Structure 1
Amino acid sequence: MILFRGLKPLNPPLLTEEGRKIVAYFQDEQISESEWVQELKRKHGQEILVHILNRKAVYEEASSLSIDISPEEVASELKRDMIGYDSEEAYYYEMETQLGLSPEDVATEMHYRLTLQEIAISEIDITEAEIDNYFEENKDQFEARKQFQLSIIKVASQASAEDILDQLEDGADFTQMAKEYSTDVTSRDKGGRIGAVEWNDPFLPQKMLSAADSLKINDIAGPFEWDHDYVIIQLTDIVVEEQEDIRDIHMTIRKQLALNESIPLTQLENNLRDKYEARLMVYIPPA
């Protein structure tokens, strides 16, 4: 996905001496629409054509199998994808900045992915015994998720951390102290905010997470050893998801076990293109 920002369109469209539409200028040099399209074809043409054919083949197969993904299913899966983000807005912001996808694009891609998955598992049977066994062995995966919104101040020594903690106890502002003293470059400019973390995140100090679980909103605790540094934390919010219905959990397990047995989704796309006689009629040299 290619994004361009800070370029103002010219109105009305201008033409070259040969009558080709001008889409941009570099100083006095004209960039024509045909040059632009040719470059897009050279770099992304094959990928885009296959993308189009995949979707036509997949939705043709879905129609033949009476598979129809509802807006509610798309919304539910998007909600799962948003776990770990500070907010829905933060999720869509990353989709836009990293992938160039609008919220509508994200929903469209999710609808396609769910449709493809349903086709992949349409002929795979999973028994209730298999579902029950998986649930018993992986109960922790289906517990209601708890997330802490944390801010941190990270410093190199315990003595420095103790000194900062004393200042905080005397009424110093956590955000300002983080900006002034924290060595964590990722969070420092945001007043120490690291966003949402899972209550059982295996990559974070367990003593720190256990302490966060006992704090009230805006409470401060520390210092905790983190790798070779020391951190002080402030709990700014706790988010606990509603426990998923056991029937929905069983459906999730059934789908996951079926996907484990299915062919890779890229192979399924290839097979469906062949089944519906999709073919490329042009050769696009690699970029």
Structure 2
Amino acid sequence: MKKQHYLIVIACLVVFNIATIAYFQLRSDDQGESVASIGNEKISRQEWLNEMEARHGESVLKDLVDQKVIKQIAKKYKITVTDKEVERELLFVKTSSYVENLEENEEKLKEQIKLNLLLEEILTKDVAISNKELKNYYDDNQKQFYIPNSFQLAQIIVHTKKEAEQTIEELEQGSSFEVLAMEKSIDSLSASQGGNIGFVSEEEERVTPEVLMKIKKLSPGKWTGPHKTDEGYTIFLLKEKISEKKYSYSEVKNQIRRQLALEQMGAKLNADVFWNEAKVEWFYGNKEN
């Protein structure tokens, strides 16, 4: 069962789709507008749009079509998913994989999760799995349905303690942690994300137990003092805290049914097989399912 891989794929796809779909929504009537200049030469908005459409147009349109196909077929067969199911999957995604700009993209991520759950339900609606098999799977894989105490963190790493203390002074005076991370942090990867390093749990080793104990005592939006690390001195900001959760068999029974049914069918998780049923016609011609 590659549930974690599946969740990571959702997260990656959602970031791409948010970026590309948002881009195409920027089209305006003024297609001659300049978007860049190089000396005396200009790049028009139309040139830019044409290039983006050539590179990403088909995949973005397919994503939009798939969304509507899933909703239409789900309505046809009266298939729904609950908000609790969506929230549970969201927690697993957030705590098991890195999602860029999570705060801005969370609603889009929830919508993508809901669509994926609907598609799973549609694909497996006629597959029966015995209660014994479902319970055995739960008993053998309980860790899969457990979320440890998890903390969404951002960090600023500087060379010296003096730099760290100066940074904390700026934070206390109201400076943005994200901006300071981009300006000061020597860890280029996290600095480019405003210091964000995603969620850290008690079961990981990215943060020492001593530092984690101090993070646990923080309220979201607060930061630690400087901590000496191999790289220099690190300041951690707590962005969000998720308490330990262990899901009961009854809570995840349907999730297990879908997982086992998809494995049994060997089905790929895509909406293509329903395009004919939904009578899809599109710009790129007939689609082979």
**TM norm structure 2:** 0.56
What letter matches 1:212 in structure 2? V
Contact 1:187 1:193 in 2 (8 A): yes
Contact 1:62 1:115 in 2 (8 A): yes
Aligned ranges 1:62-141 → 2 under 5 Å: 62-70=74-82, 73-83=85-95, 90-94=101-105, 103=107, 106=109, 108-141=111-144
CA–CA separation in structure 1 for the residues paired with 2:213 and 2:98: 21
CA–CA separation in structure 2 for the residues paired with 1:30 and 1:184: 34
Matched residue SS, 1:23: coil
> Cα RMSD (Å) of the superposition?
5.2
Is the aligned partner of 1:196 residue 2:199?
Answer: yes
Displacement of 1:239 in angstroms is 2.4
Contact 2:81 2:114 in 1 (8 A): yes
Matched residue SS, 2:208: helix
Displacement of 1:117 in angstroms is 1.2
1:243 equivalent in structure 2: 245
**TM norm structure 1:** 0.57
Aligned ranges 1:148-227 → 2 under 5 Å: 148=151, 150=153, 164=161, 172=165, 175=168, 183-187=186-190, 194=197, 196-201=199-204, 204=206, 208-215=207-214, 216-217=217-218, 223=228
Identity, in percent, stands at: 21
Which whole-Å deviations, capped at 9, do the CAs of 1:225-283 have from their partners, x for residues lacking one?
A: 5xxx46656575882425344121333333333333341023xx232223455455865
Higher radius of gyration, 1 or 2: 1
Which whole-Å deviations, capped at 9, do the CAs of 1:176-223 have from their partners, x for residues lacking one?
A: 699798632345699977453122236x3xxx4333344344666864
Matched residue SS, 2:127: coil
Displacement of 1:82 in angstroms is 3.8
Contact 2:153 2:238 in 1 (8 A): yes
Displacement of 1:147 in angstroms is 1.8
- Which sections of structure 2, spanning at least 5 residues, go unmatched? 1-19, 35-39, 171-179
- Select the residue among 33, 47, 58 that pairs with 1:25: 33
- Which sections of structure 1, spanning at least 5 residues, go unmatched? 10-20, 96-102
CA–CA separation in structure 2 for the residues paired with 1:175 and 1:24: 47
1:254 equivalent in structure 2: 257
CA–CA separation in structure 2 for the residues paired with 1:184 and 1:30: 34
What letter matches 1:210 in structure 2? P
**How many residue pairs end up in the alignment?**
243
1:274 equivalent in structure 2: 276
